[in-house]
């Protein structure tokens, strides 16, 4: 299956998905301030990939 050339115009999350993504983003924000950006970026990537399944 070919990858889409552009991101979707709308994305829908159920409440649990949205809360997990929000928690991951909050963790990233905190860790960026502490200097561990790469580790947290990988965690967000995992969450975003899970939402696309």
What pLDDT score was predicted for residue 9?
Answer: 85
Round to whole Å and give the CA distance between 20 and 3.
25
The pLDDT value given to residue 12: 87
Q: Is the pTM of this model over 0.75?
A: no
- What pLDDT is recorded for position 19? 92
- In DSSP notation, 19-40 reads HHHHHHHHHHHHHHHHT-HHHH
d(CA 27, CA 45): 13
The per-residue pLDDT for 16 is 93
Instruction: Give pLDDT, residue 4.
Output: 63
Question: Mind listing the pLDDT tens digit of every residue in the chain (53 residues)?
Answer: 566 688 888 888 899 999 998 898 888 878 777 776 777 778 888 888 887 76
Largest CA distance in the chain: 40
CA distances from 16 to 4, 13, 23 (A): 26, 8, 11
């Amino acid at each position: 299956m070919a990858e889409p050339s552009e991101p979707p115009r709308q994305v829908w999350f159920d409440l649990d998905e949205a809360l997990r993504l929000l928690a991951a983003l909050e963790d990233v924000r905190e860790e960026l301030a502490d200097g561990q950006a790469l580790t947290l970026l990988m965690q967000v990537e995992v969450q975003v990939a899970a939402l696309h399944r």
